Amino acid sequence: NFITKFARYYTPAVCGGALVLAVLPPIIRMIMGESAMWGDWITRALTFLVISCPCALVISIPLSFFAGIGCASANGVLVKGSNYLEALSDTQYIVFDKTGTLTKGVFEVTGIYPANGFDESTIVGLASYAESASNHPISISLKKYFGKEIKRDSVSDIEEIAGHGVSA
């Protein structure tokens, strides 16, 4: 972020300085009746650009962001901007949307991995009964995965906790 702010002023100033150095002295020399020496002053302006090497630093940061966004895009991942790419550097886990959950809003249970001592049908049954009163998309997908009729009167004290789930 600092580099972006710095580049906003530094890069145009250096480019403008190089342009002035390439053009102004030869014009002044011509006004004074001397040889303009365009080649010498253009060489000096280019030397000035090379010496102002932080431009490479200033340019390298945006270029690396463009390369990262371009590479992600080539692999089918949309990154909306460099600030999001920078935030990804602190990310520990990434979830990709193969089933359309995020893009289409369609949730689907793709697998159940029970802990020791539990079987899949028991876990899915208990979760489906607990979710029986909810119309949340995740609840609907869980009940669809269960695939059996749920007797809501066999569940009591159902409480839907926003952002956390249900208890019953």
Model confidence pLDDT, tens digit, residues 73-117: 898 888 888 888 888 888 887 766 666 666 676 788 888 888 888
Mean pLDDT, the chain, integer = 84
Residues 76, 8 within the same domain: yes
Residues 113, 75 within the same domain: no
pLDDT for the residue 20: 97
Q: Go through 128-153 and write b for each residue having 16 or more CB atoms within 10 A of its CB, e for each that does not.
A: bbbbbebeeeebebbbebbeeeeeee
In a domain, 145, yes or no: yes
pLDDT for the residue 113: 84
Look up 97 and say whether it is catalytic: yes
> Domain total for the chain?
2
Residues 130, 159 within the same domain: yes
More confident residue, 2 or 126: 126
Any idea which residue has 């460099």 for tokens?
Answer: 82
Final residue of a domain: which of 54, 88, 122?
88
Residues 65, 8 within the same domain: yes
- Measured CA to CA in angstroms, residue 153 lies from 43, 121, 148, 158 at distances of 88, 20, 15, 11
In a domain, 96, yes or no: no
- Measured CA to CA in angstroms, residue 19 lies from 26, 41, 90, 141, 148 at distances of 12, 10, 41, 65, 77
Any idea which residue has 């269960």 for tokens?
Answer: 146
Other beta carbons within 10 angstroms of residue 29's beta carbon come to 16
Final residue of a domain: which of 88, 111, 128?
88
Annotated active-site residue in 40, 90, 97, 157 = 97
Residues 106, 61 within the same domain: no
Distance from C-alpha of 8 to C-alpha of 4, rounded to nearest angstrom = 6
Model confidence pLDDT, tens digit, residues 30-73: 999 999 999 999 999 988 988 887 656 666 677 788 888 999 88
In a domain, 95, yes or no: no
